[in-house]
Structure 1
């Protein structure tokens, strides 16, 4: 189908460095695909024999991103160039939006149909490759929707930015929220995606601001108010009560100087606060919507900050309190 040529070209480029589906990799892939149903917004017409031809018959006619763009990209004060370029994707019409959503969900519907016929014990390589290709093509259509609506995320999150809520953190969370909204949007209800996405992104940004505020309140109250489990064995008997509270306040102040993601990672990696067990880099990466290497970088950055703050502050007065 000519309408799928750009998406298929992207799929072929992604396969240049892909790991071949053989042996254990094939079996693990089959088990992972078979264990989880593929989500999509259903439509009664998806099951028709000619559904594919009908859905991909109309031309999509997406405008390519011009470099430089024909009109200035959305500008936000002090915004780096690499971020402002995210707003250069052309807007899409209501008809284009409907086609993108219909095709995205149809491709996922087809992938789920093949997934239901997959035998993990005797996986067919061709079927797994087809499922992966269908999911890639579906995500390609989803990404076109996301690109066309990134201006919306910028305009929303900048209203929530302040000294305690950094723009790049809110933007990252807002883009994840936009992608989640695209996955759950029902294009049959007759209203534009931006109406639905605005509510999702705004609610997510507000929740982030409230979470940051609550965390700062816990930090200002000391580690005990953050529900850190400190046993009597950790509290050395040869340290006076006043010096122990001084040490707690110093640590709380240091954590308070980290940004929201750094605090989350430090608490999770060292089982602080509500985290009763150490979390892995991969679990945090999935939670934050970033790569495992990015979590590792954020952890190292946070530890470097804490080390520098400890050196700058010094603990001579705490040591003098030892009796």
Structure 2
């Protein structure tokens, strides 16, 4: 199974937007069901308006969808007649967000965290039956999007089919987000155990949320297990791997500096810096690298193919890996470079030239 990619189109949404009551009549009837009214209303402003799109735009969008990966857990029942009405016939009944749940999660963490973190934990836990309904609907919607995508033809682009695919994927991601929100407190409880001087809570939380989203994509609800059991193992393993990787990176950096051999001609030994001073400078170089936070070090090494990276990574690939925007990666890269430039200008590094 491949990881699901974001369903946001490269085409920016235009007004007017489509509300739940305006879902095209050519779409399957179950898309307009009462159970999907809230989701349809929330995604309406994010859907592109293709009503006035020309053939070139539709053709480009068709090619983009044919290249896009859709990851989901298939089920034999998804191909049954009338299954859409059945899947969206049950009542989900999600409870609203509760600010007191977020505040309680912050207090239980035992870590001094900004209050805005509490907003991540305001969604109530899911009941077992709600969990099954959400996973079933999410995978069914991705399955339907995949079926209609397979019918796309770049030479004869269909506006209605493209609009339907956009709607289906956006609805699937809406259900995915409800699962993620309801399990963020689980991520909090796991990653706080790995926090130390070299691994901050916000970095571990960022990695933990990425791990949680991957767990949602790979979880098979039809096996009868609770998602929290599976997600706990995934997030815990992801956090442990992050801590180990950070430790290995620090050891490689320090070890690499200590193992450097500098050839100095005999006639220059009298004017060269002392061995003690050289060791001090090597230590300062290690400090300069270690002063970057985990994400900054990762981005610098990935962008310049340093350390374990065998190729230069793009800003978008790093954004997908870190679970942040492409622009945020650019900002972190710029900040890291500025830090290193400032540290390199320290008078204590003068002898390096």
- Is 1:267 aligned to residue 298 of structure 2? no
Note if contact 1:73-1:88 (Cα within 8 Å) is conserved in structure 2: no
State the match for 2:198 in structure 1. 164
SS of equivalent to 1:315: helix
Aligned residue in 2 for 1:154: 188
Conserved in 2, the CA contact under 8 Å of 1:219 and 1:225? no
Q: Is the aligned partner of 1:46 residue 2:78?
A: yes
Instruction: Identify the residue that residue 101 of structure 1 maps to in structure 2.
Output: 135
Q: Distance in 2 between matches of 1:253 and 1:18?
A: 54
SS in 1 for 2:194: coil
Whole-angstrom distance in 2 between the partners of 1:155 and 1:294: 26
* Structure 1 unaligned spans of 5+: none
Report the CA distance between 1:274 and its aligned residue: 3.5
Q: Work out whether 1:74 is the aligned partner of 2:108.
A: no
Secondary structure of 1:290's match? Answer: coil
Q: Please name the residue that 2:322 is paired with.
A: 288
TM-score, normalised relative to structure 1 = 0.87
Q: Is the contact made by 1:254 and 1:309 (CA closer than 8 Å) also made in structure 2?
A: yes
Confirm whether residue 84 of structure 1 aligns to residue 118 of structure 2: yes
Query: Does 2:154 match 1:123?
Result: no
Q: So what's the TM-score if we normalise by structure 2? A: 0.80
Gap change, CA 1:20 and 1:166, over 3 Å in 2:
farther
Partner of 1:9 in structure 2? 41
Q: State the alpha-carbon separation in 2 of the partners of residues 22 and 114 from structure 1.
A: 21
| Cα distance in structure 1, aligned partners of 2:101 and 2:302 | 46
Tell me the number of residue pairs that the alignment of Structure 1 and Structure 2 aligns. Answer: 312
> Per-residue deviation at 1:286?
2.3
Query: Which 5+ residue runs of structure 2 have no aligned equivalent?
Result: 1-32
Q: Aligned to 2:249, which of 191, 215, 230? A: 215
DSSP-derived class of the 1:138 partner: helix
Structure 1 stretch 255-264 or stretch 266-275: which is displaced more?
A: 266-275
Root-mean-square deviation (CA), in Å?
Answer: 2.9
